[in-house]
Amino acid sequence: MLLETTKIPMADFMGRFASQFFEKAKDMLQPEYQPGQHPAIARQLEHLPMLRKPFPAQAENILAASVHLYACDQPAIVLSQDMGTGKTLVGSTIAMMGKRPQRIIVVVPPHLVAKWAREIEVTFPSVDVHKINHAGAIEALEKAYRAHSGQPERPEFWIIGRVRLRMSYRFHAQTNTQMQYSSWAERYVKRLTCPTCGGILMKPGKKPNKKETESMDLTEKVIPGAADGSEGDEDGIYYEFADHDFLNTAKRTCQHVKTGDQVKDGCGAPLWSARRLHEKSTEETIASAMQKLPGIGKGTAEKIMALAPTTIREIIRDLSNGDIHPAMSNVLNKSATKKVRAYIEHTGFTLGDGNYAPVEFIKRQIKKGWFDVAIFDELHEFKGDNTAQGVAFGILASRCRKVIGLTGTLVDGYAASLHPLLFRCDPQSLMRMGFGADDGARFQREMGVIRETVVEEEEDGLSTSRGRKVVRRQIRNLPGIHPNVVANLLLPNALFLDLPDIEKSLQQLAKEQGAGEVRLLPSFREVFVKIPQTVHQEERVTKFCKTILDAMKDAMRNGGEKGLMGPVMSAALYAADGGYKDVVCHPKRHEKPLGILKPIVTEHEILEKEKFMRDLAIRSVSAGRKLLIYTIYTDKLDLVRREVA
């Protein structure tokens, strides 16, 4: 018996059997959230005091995330939503869905701090919003923690920019000095010593060659067991006397010291101290902080600084507590006093605390769980494995009970970029799969796609008839993600929302309530039109492109600059559009241009693409339509200003 087979397009096949596939997947995956199955959480969202209610599609994401975080007690959720779908509203509402008032820290791009604060204030009427994207962030956190180290009485939002969160302080070497007689130099030389144990500081070195050994008065290298180099194992570890260049490159500790003629282990004490970015005196720092208050200029600040030192200390204490000292009120007029009072009530007053990272303060000085929820806006910006932002993300996530990530581009196609994000959000899930914090390369190899290029070259042995084979390996990450990543990591911990979802939910709601048609997104049709050049124009442009591309290949083949690709490709792409004038490809640090394209049209002619655009504009204006013309070229390559008759 022969069976007939029929080929149908994949889109038609999926459309025909979509419901069966969905039901089968639902039975296998056992989703945590199903619409209508969680009435308690739905009632909680309905009674949540909000001045702006979420759209139906947004509400579904809020309910699903709340079930995941609070009912199922999962540590993290990632919201992958399109721009304009309300990530701020959805993320902040999910954070508010805890069983008690939550203390929430929000990490956002610096330019969005004010926007987040404004959105929260106009959405939730009974919350406290603190903007700490300033130098006094640590002072504000410390004051709040000392005053209320327990659970908050009402919801709190602490908003900080991601740059401020991970900023660190500067440091410099902190050592003592000791004069020691050098037998090689035959004079006393200055040595750096540890302030704690007093030993002469040493640093690891390399075995000196014969030439260096003959000039030991300049290098003065020693090895363990024989500080003068006359005895000891020739293959032993060599040490040099530490200098400021070595100590200032990192936060060093006392590891090796010279005691007598021996090099021994140091005491481990730190050999650095923190310092501010500026060298201002205490008076200058206070005056500068005063001038940041509204209504206080340089002259008024000088009058305040002329008061008694005890009075100045009382003024600073009162400002930090949100009050204005009577002595300060006497200096200010009524209008300035009112402005200062409003400012410190809303923003607070601080003298600044240098550049010590707030995330380090949270890690070391604030107990774990004081912040209930951490929200990270633009989560993909924290995907760096060893970047300061990535490390700050991992530290803060580990100090909070729940983590909410917001992004529009969760997956960039590479498995390696997902590893640090997923591990810092939910390390247990990756550890169950056998991946640790340092397994990013293995995660890409096993859960992504790599291309390994192996090149074997046989070098001429010269003195022998047989050469030596040299094997070179090059590994490159390629786009691609294993299905296990999607099934075991993304689907259980991520929610997705785009604009058509919101529009569809509103249309369904309008239909149920008998309202008219609802359309959020305008209908449009995208058409690609290929504009052919004339034969003469095409020949000229093709010849120009071939000339500059060949010149680039020759230069790179002969070991020339690697920066030729940009200017050459820019000139080649611009030639067809800017051919009404000279197109010159002249990379920097080159004596002469790689190629010049003379105008491919006369002074009174226009290009074929310009003819099409002119005719389209005439038809659109005649039909009463508006027309927007967009060009990618600006500045010297600008095409908009060209007059097309």
Residue 515 lies in a domain: no
Residue 375 lies in a domain: yes
What is the tens place of the pLDDT at every residue in 154-185?
999 999 988 888 766 677 888 998 888 776 66
Q: Which two tokens stand for residue 109?
A: 């791009």
What is the tens place of the pLDDT at every residue in 434-493?
888 888 888 888 888 888 787 777 655 554 555 567 777 777 888 888 888 887 888 888
DSSP count for the chain of H helices, then E strands: 26, 19
Judgement on whether residues 136 and 226 belong to the same structural domain of the protein: no
Q: Hunting for tokens 């197109």 — which residue is that?
A: 583
Q: Between 388-399 and 358-365, two packed helices, what is the crossing angle to 10 degrees?
A: 30
Residue 52 lies in a domain: no
For residue 479, the model assigns a pLDDT of 83
Judgement on whether residues 264 and 299 belong to the same structural domain of the protein: no
Judgement on whether residues 269 and 183 belong to the same structural domain of the protein: yes
Q: Which domain holds residue 315?
A: 284-346
| Residue partners of 455: CB distance under 8 A and separation at least 6 | 471, 472, 473, 474
Residue 318 lies in a domain: yes
Residue 488 lies in a domain: no
Judgement on whether residues 160 and 224 belong to the same structural domain of the protein: no
For residue 226, the model assigns a pLDDT of 40
* Cα–Cα distance measured from residue 408 to residue 78, given in angstroms and rounded to the nearest whole number: 10
Domain final position from 440, 456, 484: 440
The rounded percent of the chain whose pLDDT value lies above 70 is 83
For residue 218, the model assigns a pLDDT of 38
For residue 4, the model assigns a pLDDT of 63
Any bridge partners for residue 275, and if so which? Answer: 170
Residue 540 lies in a domain: yes
Judgement on whether residues 544 and 628 belong to the same structural domain of the protein: yes
Given a cut of 50, whether residue 88 has pLDDT beyond it is yes
| Residue partners of 387: CB distance under 8 A and separation at least 6 | none
The rounded percent of the chain whose pLDDT value lies above 90 is 13
Comparing 57-61, 93-97, 206-210, the range with the smallest average pLDDT is: 206-210
* Closest residue by Cα to residue 382 from 397, 399, 360, 367: 397
Q: Between 56-66 and 87-95, two packed helices, what is the crossing angle to 10 degrees?
A: 40
* Cα–Cα distance measured from residue 217 to residue 182, given in angstroms and rounded to the nearest whole number: 8
Name the phi and psi angles at 248, rounded to 5.
-90, -5
| Residue partners of 400: CB distance under 8 A and separation at least 6 | 105, 369, 371, 372, 373, 374
What is the mean predicted confidence (pLDDT) over 216-242? 51
To the question of pTM greater than 0.85 for the whole model, the response is: no
What is the tens place of the pLDDT at every residue in 577-615?
888 888 888 887 777 888 888 888 887 888 888 888 889
For residue 254, the model assigns a pLDDT of 92
Instruction: Identify the residue with better confidence: 377 or 466.
Output: 377
How distant, in Å, are the alpha carbons of 59, 80, 88, 96, 375 from that of 84? Answer: 15, 12, 10, 21, 18
The CATH number of residue 140's host domain is: 3.40.50.10810
Judgement on whether residues 341 and 362 belong to the same structural domain of the protein: no
Judgement on whether residues 271 and 185 belong to the same structural domain of the protein: yes
Domain final position from 301, 321, 346: 346
* Cα–Cα distance measured from residue 539 to residue 544, given in angstroms and rounded to the nearest whole number: 9
Q: At 103, is the secondary structure helix, strand, or coil? A: strand
Instruction: Identify the residue with better confidence: 350 or 217.
Output: 350
For residue 636, the model assigns a pLDDT of 64
Judgement on whether residues 613 and 580 belong to the same structural domain of the protein: yes
What is the mean predicted confidence (pLDDT) over 245-271? 85
* Cα–Cα distance measured from residue 382 to residue 22, given in angstroms and rounded to the nearest whole number: 34
Going by pLDDT thresholds of 50, 70 and 90, the confidence category of residue 338 is confident
Judgement on whether residues 262 and 177 belong to the same structural domain of the protein: yes
Number of domains in the chain: 4
Residue 2 lies in a domain: no
Q: Do the beta carbons of residue 414 and residue 479 sit within 8 Å?
A: yes
For residue 237, the model assigns a pLDDT of 65
Judgement on whether residues 190 and 105 belong to the same structural domain of the protein: no
* Cα–Cα distance measured from residue 379 to residue 510, given in angstroms and rounded to the nearest whole number: 34
Residue 317 lies in a domain: yes
* Closest residue by Cα to residue 202 from 258, 265, 271: 258
Domain final position from 245, 275, 305: 275
Judgement on whether residues 186 and 161 belong to the same structural domain of the protein: no
Judgement on whether residues 178 and 164 belong to the same structural domain of the protein: no
Going by pLDDT thresholds of 50, 70 and 90, the confidence category of residue 377 is very high
For residue 211, the model assigns a pLDDT of 55
